[in-house]
Amino acid sequence: MRRSLTRKLIESHLVAGKPVLGEEVGLTVDQVLLTDTNGTLPWLQFEAMGFTRVVPPRVVTYIDHNVYQVDSRNSDDHRYLQTAARKYGSVFSKPGNGICHQVHMETFSIPGQTLLGTDSHTPLCGAAGMLAIGAGGLDVAVALGGGPYSFTMPAVVRVWLTGQLRPWVTAKDVILELLRRLSVRGGSGKIFEYAGPGLPSLLAAQRMTIANMGAELTLTTSLFPSDDVTHSFLTRLGRGDEWRPAAPDEDAEYDDQIELDLGAIGPLVALPGSPDRVVPIEEAAGTPVEQVMVGSCTNGSWHDMSSVTGVLRGRRVHSSVSFVLFPGSHRILETMAREGLLADLLAAGAIVSESTCGSCAGIGHVPAAGTRSLRAFNRNFPGRSGVKGDEVYLCSSLVAAASALTGVITDPRTLGAPPDVKLPPRFVPSEAGLVAPDGGGDVVRGPNIKPVPLGEPVANTLDAPVLLKLGDKVSTDDISPAGAAVLVFRSNVPAIAEHCFKYVDPEFVARAKASGRGIIVGGEIYGQGSSREAAAVGPMHLGIRAVIVKSFARIHRANLINWGVVPLTFDDPAAYDAIERDDRLHLPDLRAALVAGTRVEVVNRRTGTAFTTSCLLTPREREILLAGGILAHTKGGRA
């Protein structure tokens, strides 16, 4: 069998299972990245499981999301993360050093290795030929202790690229085009591997944008070969000796193929509400915007910053617009200063913020109520910007820059010749924000850090009310909101649980507490978006014992299992229609059905009707779920 690059990397790291579509595989993990929002709990879980030193050769803990230190809670958590990293063997990236994915790609990416991260956009490093996967916190904690990462073998789809991008068209338009075609459900259970004659025309930064935002397609990950483009990228960073080739076999076999002519793509915009509400720029042009932003892990590269500067140079940001840029790393920001970009941006009236995730996760620069925000970011789920009822459009850096000049969404092709973007021969070394571990010191816990809760073993019978009935595309932002007011409690499960479904149903928490036990019902792709574990552990803490939906997003389903919440899918999606909020559902033989691997019967006590659901589990998942999650499983001596 002629092997894809994906299969080569999986087989070279395989420790359990067979790489057969639909079967579970377990892989060794070479590198781990953790963030401040989603990494605090994994470190606490690492300690709770009794580990004393990380096993993967490279572990890096980043402070990049919730960096604003407006009171002691963030600072306390940062101190915990730094002292835990020092003691247990992780490099520590200080606040302001940059966004984890950008910094990791620049500093630690090695073609052919595996990378597991607590953030759903970890696949960005697939641009360097790494098998980079985002996962829930407990899975990452297990990997820190030397355990394999287990997941269901996806279908490997080759994306065959032809042609070249036309002027004013970017890699962001490429991934938006895929979202337009396939929707946010189109990548579920798949890995996209990019190839074809159009591939050499894409710079490393452009590949990073595509691989990063593949998370919005619900892909397991995205993968590019390590080729001359990768070599050039690492050489400019002074890391050419760490480059190695990684490519599929000639005539490699794939499960499917998508063909994409880069030359046929034009500038695109995603309308508010979902990254897949994509339309040609012509359909959105003229829409007034009061806020424009460029940055995040998707569009914070040197290529993005230089492109924006080229558009703004000698011009002025529109009087009605606040235009903010978030360079992806301290290295990029320092290079911008040395190359003169900052002076041009400041003269144009742009705001250059810290090298952080910032407002992508609703932290800082929250738009005014009733205004429109145009962002070269990756997500625009309702409320993600930090305010209910927001209107966030997604676009490329070039569309953002052109629109910042006019005050309305603008087709950049109306500006004439595109900016000439040149890469510096070398990027300045920038390791001032990285702290190596020495194994010393004590781990310091602030007052906001609370003990990690345990899940409960699955009961023989579940009889509980439907506390929420939700529709399709429920994101983890809907379940556990982003924003500074909520994410400050990332190390305090009882406190963050108080915010569950805050913008969806403000009375949910009170109902859950009054009920003691509850069930959530939803539609397609429940739990899409961020990997944040709080979206599973928060509801679990409030008594949610089962979630019944039409389909799950991969990481959220894994998180539910890891916390002992039963993830069920309707055998007949039409059964969803007959359920109402507050209906009492009876699952008479829940545990026995899970043990036997049979369908789970559900009886609606209000109507007297019955329907069946499924919970397809691997043997490993079954043991974990029945025990009440990974921590309960470990505490029971079954690690």
Backbone angles phi, psi at 23, to 5 degrees: -95, 155
Q: Is the pLDDT of residue 636 over 70?
A: no
- Kindly report the average pLDDT of the chain as a whole number: 94
Q: Residue 67 pLDDT more than 90?
A: no
Contact between 210 and 301 (Cβ < 8 Å): no
Do 466 and 410 reside in the same domain of the chain?
no
Say if residue 477 is in the same domain as residue 397. no
pLDDT beyond 50 at 156:
yes
**DSSP per residue, 438-483:** -S-S-----TT--PPP-PPPPPS-EEEEEEEE--S--BHHHHS--S
Q: What is the DSSP letter of 367?
A: P
**Cβ count within 10 A of residue 228:** 11
Q: Is the pLDDT of residue 532 over 90?
A: no
> Would the pLDDT of 372 be above 80?
yes
pLDDT at 429: 76
What mean pLDDT is predicted for residues 8-29? 97
Asked if the model's pLDDT at residue 135 lies above 80, the reply is yes
Separation of alpha carbons 303 and 105, rounded Å: 14
Separation CA 231–CA 47 (nearest Å): 38
Q: Which domain holds residue 292?
A: 268-415
Contacts 24+ apart (CB under 8 A), 399-402: 399/267, 399/269, 399/281, 399/374, 400/292, 400/293, 400/294, 400/308, 400/374, 400/375, 400/376, 401/292, 401/294, 401/307, 401/308, 401/311, 401/312, 402/311
CATH number at residue 331: 3.30.499.10
Mean pLDDT, residues 339-350: 96
> Domain boundary residue among 376, 394, 415?
415
pLDDT at residue 384 greater than cutoff 80: yes
SS3 484: helix
Residue 106 domain flag: no
Residue 466 scores a pLDDT above 80: yes
Instruction: Look up the CATH number of the domain holding residue 546.
Output: 3.20.19.10
Question: Is 80 exceeded by the pLDDT of residue 487?
Answer: no
Residue 360 CB contacts under 8 Å (≥ 6 apart), including other chains: 295, 296, 297, 326, 375, 377, 378, 379
Q: What sign does the CA torsion over 185, 215, 496, 140 have?
A: positive
pLDDT given for residue 411 in this prediction: 98
Residue 159 lies in a domain: no
Give the DSSP letter of residue 490: T
CA torsion angle 266 271 277 282 (round to 10)? -30
Q: Quick check: 637 pLDDT over 70?
A: no
Closest alpha carbon to 481 in 361, 390, 393, 375: 361
Residue 536 lies in a domain: yes
User: Can you read off the two tokens belonging to residue 208?
Assistant: 């990073």
| Domain shared by 409 and 466, yes or no | no
Residue 517 sits at φ, ψ, to 5 deg, of -135, 145
Domain boundary, last residue among 415, 443, 471:
415
Is 424 part of a structural domain of the chain?
no
> What φ, ψ does residue 545 adopt, rounded to 5°?
-115, -15
Say if 166 falls within a structural domain: no
Do 518 and 375 belong to one domain? no
- Looking at residue 639, its pLDDT comes to 40
Q: Indicate whether 363 belongs to any domain.
A: yes
Same domain as 559, residue 472? yes
Looking at 69-78, 133-142, 444-453, 573-582, which range is the least confident one? 69-78
User: Do 211 and 222 touch, CB atoms closer than 8 A?
Assistant: yes
Is the domain of 500 the same as that of 627? yes
Residues 500 and 400 placed together within one structural domain of the fold: no
Q: Based on the domain organization, do 409 and 471 belong to the same domain?
A: no
**Distance (Å, whole) CA 358 – CA 513:** 33
446 burial level (CB within 10 Å; 0-12, 13-18, 19+): middle
- Poorest-confidence range of 4-13, 221-230, 413-422? 413-422
- The answer on 476 and 402 residing in a single domain is no
Is there a contact between 194 and 204 (Cβ–Cβ < 8 Å)? no
Q: Are residues 405 and 487 in the same domain?
A: no
In sequence order, the 6+-apart residues with CB closer than 8 A to the CB of 619 are none
Region 12-16: mean pLDDT is 97
Q: Is 364 left (phi over 0), alpha (psi -120 to 50) or beta?
A: left
Indicate the angle between helix axes 554-562 and 534-541, nearest 10 degrees. Answer: 40
Give me the mean pLDDT over the 590-607 stretch.
97
Give the helix/strand (H/E) hosting 398: helix 397-406
Give the C-alpha separation, 547 to 306, whole Å: 46
- Say what the pTM is: 0.94
Q: Please state the rounded mean pLDDT for residues 275-296.
A: 97
Extract the tokens encoding 451: 């003990």
pLDDT in tens, 167-212: 999 999 999 999 999 999 999 999 999 999 999 999 999 999 999 9
User: Is 93 a domain residue?
Assistant: no
Instruction: Kindly provide the residue ranges of all beta strands, DSSP E only, lying in 90-163, ordered along the sequence.
Output: 91-93, 114-117, 131-134, 149-152, 155-162
Q: Is the pLDDT of residue 69 over 80?
A: no
User: Do both 381 and 491 map to the same domain?
Assistant: no
Asked whether residue 468 falls in the same domain as residue 615, the answer is yes
Q: Are the C-beta atoms of 102 and 514 separated by less than 8 Å?
A: no
Q: What percent of the chain has pLDDT over 90?
A: 86
Report the pLDDT value the prediction gives residue 115, as an integer from 0 to 100: 98
* Residue 56 covered by a domain: no
pLDDT for res 634: 83
| Res. 610: pLDDT tops 50 | yes
Last residue of a domain, one of 394, 415, 436: 415
- The contacts of residue 246 (CB under 8 Å, 6+ apart) are 5, 8, 9, 111, 112, 129, 225, 226
- Total structural domains in the chain? 2
